[in-house]
Amino acid sequence: MSAYDWAGAFGKLNPAKKIKTPACGWCHPGGGAMEHPRKWDGTPDYSMNLVQAERRSIEPLDGDFYSHITPDKRSHFKESGVLEGDCFICHLQDYKFGPRNKQINMKNYRWAATVGAGLGKVKGAIFTFEDPAAKPGTKDYMTGTWNFSTRPTVTYNWNDRNKFTRQGKLRGSLVSKRVYTKSCLLCHKGPDTKKVGWLQSPKFDAHTKGGLNCTDCHNLVGKTEKERLEHNIAKGWHPLGSVRDDLDGTDMKTCAGCHLEGQYAPTRSDMPKEVKNPTKKHEEKFADVMFHIDMISCANCHSTRQPTMSGYILDMSAGKQVWYTSATVEAVTWAGDFGKPAPAPWKPWVTLYDARNGLGEQYIPVVPKVAQWFGEKMPNMEIRPIMLKYVRKAFGTLKNSSLVKVRDVNGKAAKRPTVGTDEHIKAMIFELTAMGFKNVVFVSDKVYELRDGRVVSYEDHFTAHPHNFPVHHNIVPIELEKTLGRKGTPDGCRDCHAENAEFFTKMLIRNAGRFLMQDYPIPREPNAEPQMYDWGFRKVPVPDELATKKE
């Protein structure tokens, strides 16, 4: 995607019609690639912005100034402007994120910051949707009219004395040095409810209840004022390893740092004066078994109630993104469903992970994304995904295309497409090969391919494996008595060391298509397995002293 499309293409929001397709620019604060071009070698060119660079670009095949969406397939930074780094997204308490993103959807990049800061109204648009209610997949989803001749105009709220002085200066009192949690949540709330079912609420999060902001743990990185001015924000550890792993843990506050090593120090009057050190309590409750504290991360016992639906299964086998929720394995109807409150808070899954933070391998809580999709196998055995529009076309030709009966998040019966049998896999591979794709494979719990006309499979633990998103937040307030092991030995041990304890036995779906066709809604072997199988356990380890007591 070129920068012009990366900023605002395909962004559409209409909650009343359950339409939410984010543009990349929605969750990007501007600057960087949204503002500057690249040099001939692909490195950034900070000497000019995209408007100036576009003026000089005369090559019709210059990919940096191409567009999938404009009538002439060229970018229009001259008319749209660029998205500069918008300080007020973080440094203004009442930032208008929705209206700002609406300007981006209209390709009014230059005007987005003005509307986001609530400084005035904008009249006019570079792009106007023909049918705001047209949904993804329909003919008119992205159709609309382009205006490259009349520049949008701003009407400032000059009479608003909270915003402007009599002369027209912006009131400095609007600018907040402190970054409040609600600013972070403008971008992070949606993705984090989808990834892990997280909610920044005092009811579900002890740190929120204690009055902490995101920035109290996720500080600006750097030892000096100058380094901190670079605005790199401390980042935790992530098993996915797909974005800036070198920043994992840099200057990040940790549970142990504050609660065990005395590093906590309030920096504001509304922060707790001190924090509890749980060592004595742990030693009382887990005498003789304190080795658990090293093996198991803090969040594993203390984050036991994820409050929102979240996303779990992502079925792309039919050429669409068909999601099912973590809380209830129900079909998602639109992007807003991930953040819906779950019928009851639920426990995350657990995996083994070495964060390379000196603590070794630990059991950590995660929410996996179990996917299935079609791709092309490369000579080096890596698999390149096939674009969904081609998969959709191939799926449409299946004579007995499979629809499965499921439930959606509103409790209604629904049908969803999937690929869940060898016959379907074979038919899809044939169809995609006929379309010109080479070495087509199907990725699910394993990698499936055709050999001598038969569907065969092989293990690939890197590709055919769930993507795990760690649960670092939502530490349950201790008074709710939902912490694992809270009763101490021996009763507390049975929270995990019991035949039916979720810590070991929570089912993890392996093959989404077969689960949907054969087992839905209850995960069963072999299409799902207890998560402990991944750790090398075939049954729950129950010490003799715990096994003697009958439930």
Strands (E), 177-330: 306-308, 311-315, 322-325
**Minimum distance between the CB of residue 41 and other proteins, rounded to whole angstroms?**
6
**In this structure, how many other beta carbons lie within 10 angstroms of the beta carbon of residue 135?**
15
Q: Build a one-symbol-per-residue string for 288-327: x at contacts with other proteins by CB under 8 A, - elsewhere.
A: ----------------------------------------
d(CA 311, CA 510): 15
Q: If residue 455 lies in a helix (H) or strand (E), which one and from where to where? A: strand 454-458
Structure tokens at 524: 């069963």
At its nearest, how many Å lie between other proteins and the CB of residue 469? 16
Query: Minimum distance from CB of 440 to other proteins (Å)?
Result: 19
- Applying CB under 8 A, the site for other proteins has a residue count of 57
Pick the binder of other proteins from 4, 26, 65, 88 (CB under 8 A). 88
Buried residues in 510-542 as b, exposed as e (16+ CB within 10 A): bbbbbbbbebbeebeeebbbbbbeeeeeeebeb
Specify the stretch interacting with other proteins by CB under 8 A; choose among 231-239, 359-367, 470-478, 533-541.
231-239
33 binds other proteins (CB under 8 A): yes
Q: Are 148 and 54 in contact (CB under 8 A)?
A: no
Q: Which stretch binds other proteins (CB under 8 A): 9-17, 230-238, 445-453, 524-532?
A: 230-238
CB closer to other proteins out of 380 and 500: 380
The DSSP string of 294-320 is HHB-HHHHH---EEE--EEEEE-TTSS
- Applying CB under 8 A, does 29 fall inside the site for other proteins? yes
547 vs 4, 277, 499, CA distance in Å? 63, 32, 9
With contacts defined by CB under 8 A, name the span among 23-31, 306-314, 369-377, 403-411 that binds other proteins: 23-31
> Are the C-beta atoms of residues 338 and 309 closer than 8 Å to each other?
yes
Stretch that binds other proteins, among 38-46, 267-275, 423-431, 494-502 (CB under 8 A): 38-46
Nearer to other proteins, 179 or 528 (CB): 179
> DSSP per residue over 17-55, as a string?
GTEEE--GGGG--SSGGGT--B-TTS-B-TTS-HHHHHH
Candidates 136-144, 224-232, 479-487, 534-542; binding stretch for other proteins (CB under 8 A): 224-232
Residue 224, number of CB atoms within 10 A of its CB: 7
Identify the burial level of 487 via C-beta atoms within 10 angstroms of its C-beta, where 0-12 means exposed, 13-18 middle and 19 or more buried. middle
Among 59, 149, 223, 230, binds other proteins (CB under 8 A): 230
- The Cα–Cα gap between 408 and 337 comes to 10
C-alpha triplet 303, 331, 341: angle, nearest 5°: 40
The residues pairing with 373 across neighbouring beta strands, listed in sequence order, are 443
CB of 52 to other proteins, least distance (A): 11
DSSP code for 262: S
Q: How does DSSP classify residue 170?
A: B
User: For residues 291 and 462, which CB has a smaller minimum distance to other proteins in the complex?
Assistant: 462
Q: Tell the smallest beta-carbon distance from residue 91 to other proteins (Å).
A: 9
Between 89 and 419, CB nearer to other proteins:
89
Q: How far apart are CA 180 and CA 218, in angstroms?
A: 12
Q: What mask, x for binding other proteins by CB under 8 A, covers residues 99 to 128? A: -----------xx-xx--x-x--x------
Instruction: Report the distance separating Cα 94 and Cα 225, nearest Å.
Output: 27
Q: Tell me which stretch binds other proteins (CB under 8 A): 205-213, 238-246, 387-395, 541-549.
A: 238-246
User: Mask of contacts with other proteins, 161-200, x by CB under 8 A?
Assistant: ----x-xxxxxxxxx-x-----------------------
Q: 240: number of CA atoms within 13 Å, CB side?
A: 15
Is residue 152 helix, strand or coil? Answer: coil
Which CB sits closer to other proteins, 167 or 400?
Answer: 167
Amino acid (1-letter code) at residue 520: Y
Q: CA gyration radius for the chain?
A: 26
Q: Can residue 389 be called a binding residue for other proteins (CB under 8 A)?
A: no
> In this structure, what are the phi and psi dihedrals at residue 437, rounded to the nearest 5 degrees?
-80, 150
Of the residues 11, 81, 345, 365, which one makes contact with other proteins according to CB under 8 A = 81
Residue 77 or 323 with smaller CB distance to other proteins: 77
15, 18, 44, 150: residue in contact with other proteins (rule CB under 8 A): 44
Question: Which residue in the set 18, 56, 244, 393 belongs to the binding site for other proteins (CB under 8 A)?
Answer: 244
Q: How many residues does the chain have?
A: 551
Query: Judged by CB under 8 A, does residue 48 bind other proteins?
Result: no
- Does residue number 153 form part of the binding site for other proteins (CB under 8 A)? yes
Task: Work out which of 146, 148, 156, 334 binds other proteins, going by CB under 8 A.
Answer: 156
Q: What are phi and psi of 220, to 5 degrees?
A: -75, 135
Residue 450: CB minimum distance to other proteins, A: 26
**CB of 148 or CB of 158, closer to other proteins:** 158
Judged by CB under 8 A, the chain residues 354 through 383 that form the site for other proteins are 380, 382
Q: Does 492 bind other proteins (CB under 8 A)?
A: no
Binding residues vs other proteins (CB under 8 A): 6, 24, 28-33, 35-36, 38, 41-44, 46, 81, 84-88, 110-111, 113-114, 117, 119, 122, 153-156, 158, 165, 167-175, 177, 229-233, 242-244, 246-247, 380, 382
